[in-house]
Amino acid sequence: MTEIAAPRRASIAPRRIPWPIVPFAIMLAVLVAMTVFAPYVAPLDPNQQNLLARLKPPGHVARGVTYLLGSDELGRDVLSRVIYGARVSLSVAFASVVLSGIFGSLLGMVAAFYRGWIEIIIMRIVDIVLSIPAILLAIITVAVVGPSLYTVVIVLAFTRWPRYARVAYGQTLSVANMPYVRLSRFMGAGWPRLLGRHILPNIAGPLIVVATLEFGLMVLFEAGLSFLGLGVQPPTSSWGAMLSVGRNYVATAWWIATFPGLALFLLVLSINLIGDYTRDRLDPRSR
């Protein structure tokens, strides 16, 4: 008799993290740790000036102090300013992503849930904001209101919320007519319960993907505004401001612009790669 082969059991092993992502994940974790423990990691006060040690190359020792990444035009330690600049960039990016994500997702869900004139008003506002270049809108708003840390956060959140609204709107349209949502509405559930308990958990995946990809963009926007003098103001350390100063000393003190530029590049690259991996993990079509 022919022996019948036993059916193969479906593999339920979790998908492994691809090894090229691991170094960038570690790099991002190190940068986040530096921002949290900046007062303990930075060798010097980022605003401490020493004019006798100005524009010294990496590894220079002056008065018993070693400038591992050199010093800037005022004799401040570049390494300390890079560490504190990471705190500013990550704080601004995190706050702006949270604010824009909450505001945009809520408006997108409300527009798709209620439809009618509410949908028309919200989505037309989304189209208007999206028609204006984000960086141009940010520059104009900061120039009018005045540059500061809180202004940058609010401006970046205001310019990027439409992307979340678009995603939340499309995802809510596909979920709002599901049987369990219709049944909950029939049973008398209010819109806060429907949106918060039944719709939001089912559309959170795409919104998380958008947030991870937007995070790196917020870092670049903050650096761009600081580079133009419209972001975080001196003497607060910022990567964009360091790049703006360093461009004047590229020929004589290359380290002032090189190290914050390299840190900015590695941070955005790590965030984008992790965002791509998160998108692949949360997208059912890629499984």
Mean pLDDT per 10-residue interval, the chain, length 287 residues: 44 54 84 86 87 86 84 89 90 91 90 84 89 80 79 86 89 74 62 69 83 88 86 83 88 90 90 80 56
Position 260 scores a pLDDT of: 92
Does the bond joining 43 to the residue before it have cis omega, within 30 degrees of 0? no
Q: Any idea which fold 77-286 has? A: MetI-like fold (1.10.3720)
- CA pair distance 85, 87, nearest whole angstrom: 5
Q: Which of 43, 24, 12 is nearest to 216 (CA)?
A: 24
Position 201 scores a pLDDT of: 78
Q: Which amino acid is at 129?
A: V
Please state the pTM of the whole predicted model.
0.81
Q: Which of 217, 196, 197 is nearest to 106 (CA)?
A: 196
Position 22 scores a pLDDT of: 81
Q: Any bridge partners for residue 71, and if so which?
A: 77
Q: Which of 270, 267, 266 is nearest to 24 (CA)?
A: 270
Q: Which of 48, 51, 52, 69 is nearest to 60 (CA)?
A: 69
Position 198 scores a pLDDT of: 67
Q: Which of 268, 257, 265 is nearest to 81 (CA)?
A: 257
Position 180 scores a pLDDT of: 62
- CA pair distance 77, 36, nearest whole angstrom: 19
Position 179 scores a pLDDT of: 67
Return the C-alpha torsion angle 110, 114, 116, 121, nearest 10. Answer: -10
Q: Is the dihedral angle over the CA atoms 21, 23, 24, 25 positive or is it negative?
A: positive
Alpha helices in 54-115 (DSSP H): 78-114
Question: Which position has the token pair 């439809």?
Answer: 115
Report the interhelical angle of 134-145 vs 200-227 (nearest 10°): 60
Q: Which of 62, 88, 84, 59 is nearest to 75 (CA)?
A: 62
Position 283 scores a pLDDT of: 59
